[in-house]
């Protein structure tokens, strides 16, 4: 059974565009085929502002893995690519967030799907709106376009 997984990718350390390309290759190798990729988007850091700008991208993959297997593989990929978890929202080489897993709702300590901050972050909503504008958030019952129009995040998003 194939599962549709939508991921948020981002980073702000090193050559982020190169890192994102490598990350996508590892995702295809270890998790599943990437069907759609958004453009790259640059924003100021969200949460902790005194750090370099982030470059973000959203991808849609198909996988036979469970949500928990995906999470484990994504954490392994982050570690393999040099991610060191120091403090929340601080600079990093790569970040892989599961935004959606099918239309599932998962509320566990180590896994929350849909990602709880989607509606609060322009750097996630803009690329989602680019590639899946009509996708309905299963908890908020709003499309990505609707979420983009009501998002309170004021950080400028620059399409690269």
Considering 35, 53, 85, 97, which one is annotated as catalytic?
97
With b meaning 16 or more CB within 10 Å and e meaning fewer, what string describes 26-42? bbeebbbeeeebbebbb
Nearest of 126, 132, 133, 134 to residue 157 by alpha carbon: 126
CA atoms of 154 and 141, how far apart (whole Å): 23
The gap from C-alpha 149 to its chain's centroid, in whole angstroms, comes to 19
Asked about 92 being catalytic, the answer comes back as yes
Considering 35, 53, 92, 129, which one is annotated as catalytic?
92
CA atoms of 15 and 37, how far apart (whole Å): 19
Helix (H) or strand (E) holding 60: strand 54-63
Asked about 97 being catalytic, the answer comes back as yes
Considering 35, 76, 85, 95, which one is annotated as catalytic?
95
Coil, strand or helix at 101: strand
Asked about 129 being catalytic, the answer comes back as no
Question: Where do the H-state alpha helices sit in the chain?
Answer: 16-30, 67-80, 122-131, 144-150
Return the residue matching tokens 């309905």: 136
Considering 76, 83, 120, 121, which one is annotated as catalytic?
83
Catalytic (active-site) positions: 83, 92, 95, 97
């Amino acid at each position: 059974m194939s599962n549709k997984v939508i991921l948020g990718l981002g980073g702000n350390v090193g050559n982020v565009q190169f890192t994102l390309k490598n990350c996508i290759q590892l995702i295809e190798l270890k998790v599943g085929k990437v069907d759609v990729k958004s453009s790259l988007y640059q924003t100021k850091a969200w949460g902790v502002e005194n750090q370099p700008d982030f470059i973000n991208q959203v991808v849609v993959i198909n996988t036979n893995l469970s949500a928990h297997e995906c999470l484990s593989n994504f954490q392994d990929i982050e570690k393999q690519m040099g991610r060191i978890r120091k403090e929340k929202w601080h600079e990093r080489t790569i970040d892989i967030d599961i935004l959606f897993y099918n239309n599932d709702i998962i509320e566990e300590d180590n896994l929350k799907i849909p990602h709880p901050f989607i509606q609060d972050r322009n750097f996630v909503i803009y690329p989602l709106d680019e590639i899946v504008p009509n996708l309905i958030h299963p908890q908020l019952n709003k499309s990505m376009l609707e979420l983009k129009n009501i998002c309170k995040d004021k950080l400028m998003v620059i399409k690269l």
